[in-house]
Amino acid sequence: MKTYTPKMSEVKKRWFVVDAKNKILGRLATKVATILLGKNKPLFTPHLDVGDYVIVINADRVILSGKKQNIKTYYRYTGYPGGLKSVTFSKYLKEKPEELFIHAVKGMLPHNRLGRKMLSKLFVYKGDKHPHQAQKPEALKI
């Protein structure tokens, strides 16, 4: 008996909207990454993009547990000597909350071209409005 592999024409893509208000960043990011990967579907295949689209609203109201709100620091390196840049969570959340959430989800997806394709199905917005009403997204309770 052969192993069944779904074809992309058989996979139905759905749209979900998630409210990040007063949710813990890491726990919410894992749920969103699972949906983007398609692991919540019975047709999950690791080498195909079978995941759904996710819209995250209120990304500026996400929280961290414990004292990490003031302590957690994000680093990046420019490639030049002395080019280590750091920014705290609270400053990152205030300036670029969309990038903060995308950064959290990106680390939970495959680090290849398939992961980049999956990440393109994530839409993150600062407020509670989004321009995807035409796709009729379903509210996802997390």
* DSSP SS3 for 131: coil
- DSSP string over 23-56: -BHHHHHHHHHHHHHTTTSTT--TTS--PPEEEE
Confidence (pLDDT) at 30: 98
Residue 142: pLDDT above 90? no
User: Could you give the percent of the chain with pLDDT greater than 90?
Assistant: 94
Whether residue 104 is contained in a domain is answered as yes
Q: d(Cα 4, Cα 7) in Å, to the nearest integer?
A: 10
Q: Which residues contact 19 (CB under 8 A, 6 or more apart)?
A: 57, 58, 128, 139
Whether residue 137 is predicted with pLDDT greater than 90 in this model: the reply is: yes
| DSSP label at residue 137 | P
Is a pLDDT exceeding 90 seen at residue 49? yes
User: How much is the average pLDDT of 18-26?
Assistant: 96
Is residue 74 in some structural domain?
Answer: no
Average pLDDT over residues 34-53: 95
Picking from 49, 53, 54, 38, the residue whose alpha carbon sits closest to that of residue 8 is 49
Q: How confident is the model at residue 1 (pLDDT cuts 50, 70, 90)?
A: confident
Mean of pLDDT values over 91-100 = 95
Per DSSP (E only), the strands in the chain are 15-19, 53-57, 73-77, 84-88, 122-124, 138-139
* pLDDT tops 90 at residue 62: yes
Let me know if residue 70 belongs to a domain: no
Is residue 83 one of the residues assigned to a domain? Answer: no
Query: For residue 113, what is the domain's CATH number?
Result: 3.90.1180.10
* pLDDT interval class at 68 (50, 70, 90): very high
Write out the residue range of the structural domain in which residue 105 sits.
15-63+96-139
Is pLDDT above 90 for 101?
yes
Closest-CA residue to 72 (of 99, 100, 98, 95): 100
Domain contains 82: no
